Amino acid sequence: MDFLGNHIEALIFCAPKAIKIEDIQSCLSEMFEAEIPLEDIEKGLAGIQEKYSADEFPFEVVKSGGGYQFLTKPAYQASIGILLKQQSKRRLSASAMETLSIIAYKQPVTKSEIEQIRGVNCDYTVQKLLEKELVEIKGKSEAIGRPMLYGTSEKFMDYFGINDLKELPTPKDFTTAENEIGDSEPEDQPTIEEE
């Protein structure tokens, strides 16, 4: 079983993104020219996860985005945080995060629907999100002109470390701080519409 476990570990290590158990099974079955039972792979995965749970390893095998991958343990977040700051070019801009949030919560959604919510043109941002493979085209709307429908991809789930869209925070999880500056206008001040 250790021999099979080593092959599973190698596949997880070499995969460019979280590898699904079905993909592991497919690779191993082709290599050994025999159907490898899912139970054997699950046993191998459990052994690997147990092995890397030891304190001597700074990383572990985690199920994320519907598959398995090596991730750094939480105890090393500070040093990883410094590295990520230095690589901030890879971070999403505020406009990309806003657009991605709208797509995640409203999907499938058209570009014009996103623009109605954001109030600005989002051609460039949607294009960048497509290039980063965080969103994908899910089909065409039945509306006039049959605009493209956008939704999140598996890479989106992997990027945010979730396995299902149900794991996204719900609006009740967000609270606004009391007494924020600019929270409301004094009653005697006219609003722009009233002027």
Residue 20 structure tokens: 């699904």
Residue 173 confidence (pLDDT) above 80: no
The closest alpha carbon to 21, from 64, 57, 71, belongs to 64
CA torsion through residues 66, 72, 73, 76, sign: negative
CATH of segment(s) 2-75? 1.10.10.10
Report the sign of the C-alpha dihedral through residues 86, 87, 89, 95, in that order: negative
Residue predicted with more confidence, 181 or 149: 149
Nearest to 14 by CA among 92, 84, 69: 69
Distance CA 118, CA 116 (A): 6
- Give the per-residue pLDDT at 1: 45
- In order, the DSSP letters of 100-153 are HHHHHHH-SB-HHHHHHHHSS--HHHHHHHHHTTSEEEEEE-SSTT--EEEEE-
User: How many CA atoms lie within 13 Å of 45's alpha carbon, on the beta-carbon side?
Assistant: 21
- Cβ(103)–Cβ(122) under 8 Å? no
Taking only the tens place, the pLDDT of each residue in 142-161 is 988 899 999 999 889 888 88
- Digit-coded pLDDT (tens) for 25-62: 999 999 999 999 999 999 999 999 999 999 999 999 99
Using 50, 70 and 90 to split pLDDT, how confident is the model at 186?
Answer: very low
Fold held by 89-172: Arc Repressor Mutant, subunit A (1.10.10)
pLDDT of amino acid 42: 94
List Cβ neighbours of 110 (8 Å cut-off, separation of 6 or more): 141, 143, 147, 148, 149, 150
The alpha carbons of the chain give a radius of gyration, in whole angstroms, of: 23
Higher per-residue pLDDT: 157 or 175 = 157
Give span(s): CATH 1.10.10.10, the chain.
2-75, 89-172
* Residues 91-141: tens digit of each pLDDT: 788 899 999 999 999 999 999 999 999 999 999 999 999 998 999 999 999
The CA-based dihedral angle spanning residues 107, 110, 115, 121, taken in that order and rounded to the nearest 10 degrees? 130
Those residues whose C-beta lies under 8 Å from the C-beta of residue 186, and which sit 6 or more positions away, are: none
- pTM for the complete prediction? 0.49
Does the structure show a pLDDT above 90 at 15? yes
Say whether 59 sits in a helix, a strand or coil: strand
